[in-house]
Amino acid sequence: MVKNAVYKQREITNQDMLWERFQEVYHKVLTVEVCTSLISSMPRRIKAVLDAQGGYTKY
């Protein structure tokens, strides 16, 4: 999620710009609600991986 948001801005030309953009996006994208949702989805995601025997899942 963070990577996709960072690279939507294509004019990043150096490491300093990348770091600034990362920090900006990180605080906007990874809210408490998003983190809680991701954590609560882990049992479902793990089950999907186990059911696929380590193969492809929709996640």
The Cα–Cα gap between 22 and 32 comes to 17
Alpha-carbon gap, residue 57 to 46, rounded angstroms:
10
Digit-coded pLDDT (tens) for 11-49: 888 999 999 989 988 988 889 999 999 999 999 999 999
Whether the Cβ atoms of residue 2 and residue 22 lie closer than 8 Å to each other: yes
3-class secondary structure, 13: coil
Residue from 34, 45, 44, 36 nearest 5 by CA: 34
Whole-prediction pTM: 0.58
Place of tokens 């989805």: 41
Domain ranges of the chain: 13-59
User: Do 2 and 25 contact (CB within 8 A), yes or no?
Assistant: yes
